[in-house]
Amino acid sequence: MKITTAEFISSHADVAKCPLPDKAEFAFIGRSNVGKSSLINMLTNSRKLAKISVTPGKTQTINHYLVNSSWYLVDLPGYGYASVSKSTRAGFGKMIENYVLKRENLTCLFILLDARLTPQAIDLDFIEWAGSKDIPLAIIFTKIDKLKRNELEKNMKKYQETLLKRWEELPTIILTSSEKKQGKEEILSLVDELIEGFSKK
């Protein structure tokens, strides 16, 4: 897939106000400061479609972008950042939970993890929660260019071993670097494949 157009459509805190669920939708979520905005901009060939901030936890709404006039890319708020209020942080946040559970056209939830870190409890909990709700998901590791190859392999092995303690089989895993544009083709190929399945429903 080649992305030729990507435009901002809406920003809402209430899932009921999101665009009509008439197109395949791919949502991106992760712990704050995981590199979500950089990844979205890399995928859409844009420098500023998603606003990159030095302040973690900046995304506080459900942001919809229409890509190639045919599918939605959704930028979701991050979870697990200490400066947001306790009520916002309860669970994974009502806004996130409502979106994930109620958005009927959600075709895949991309969960972003920082490849430099060992498995984090909040990430594992979120993956397990989404999986228990039968949400279609894939895991994207970001910032792989910040690690030496042997360090990356060590972290990936640890993640896979940890996930397999909770899962019978691993979900799709894609390794990415926004700076080096790694993983772009793999993500867009998966999107392409899943859009085809959505259109046949």
Report whether 74 contacts 25 (CB < 8 A): yes
What tokens appear for 8 in the block? 């901002």
Q: Are strands 71-75 and 106-114 parallel, antiparallel or unpaired?
A: unpaired
pTM: 0.90
125 in helix, strand or coil? helix
Rounded CA gap, 105 and 123, in Å? 23
Amino acid letter for position 152: L
Report whether 41 contacts 47 (CB < 8 A): yes
Rounded CA gap, 136 and 58, in Å? 26
Q: What's residue 82's pLDDT?
A: 42
Rounded CA gap, 105 and 25, in Å? 6
Q: What is the pLDDT of residues 155-196, one digit of tens each?
A: 999 999 999 998 888 999 999 999 999 999 999 999 999 999
Q: What's residue 72's pLDDT?
A: 98
Q: Are strands 62-67 and 71-75 parallel, antiparallel or unpaired?
A: antiparallel
Q: Are strands 25-30 and 71-75 parallel, antiparallel or unpaired?
A: parallel
Q: What's residue 188's pLDDT?
A: 97
Q: What's residue 90's pLDDT?
A: 46
Q: How many CA atoms lie within 13 Å of 31's alpha carbon, on the beta-carbon side?
A: 19
Q: What's residue 88's pLDDT?
A: 43
Q: What's residue 59's pLDDT?
A: 58
Q: What's residue 144's pLDDT?
A: 97
The CATH superfamily of 6-199 is P-loop containing nucleotide triphosphate hydrolases (3.40.50.300)
Report whether 6 contacts 73 (CB < 8 A): yes
Q: What's residue 54's pLDDT?
A: 45
Report whether 144 contacts 115 (CB < 8 A): yes
In the beta sheet, which residues pair with residue 10? 64
What is the distance of C-alpha 71 from the center of its chain? 15
Rounded CA gap, 43 and 23, in Å? 19
Length of the chain equals 201
In tens digits, the chain (201 residues) has pLDDT values of 999 999 999 999 999 999 999 999 999 999 888 999 999 999 999 877 876 554 444 557 899 999 999 999 999 988 764 444 444 444 567 889 899 999 999 999 999 999 999 999 889 989 999 999 999 999 999 999 999 999 999 999 999 999 999 888 899 999 999 999 999 999 999 999 999 988 766
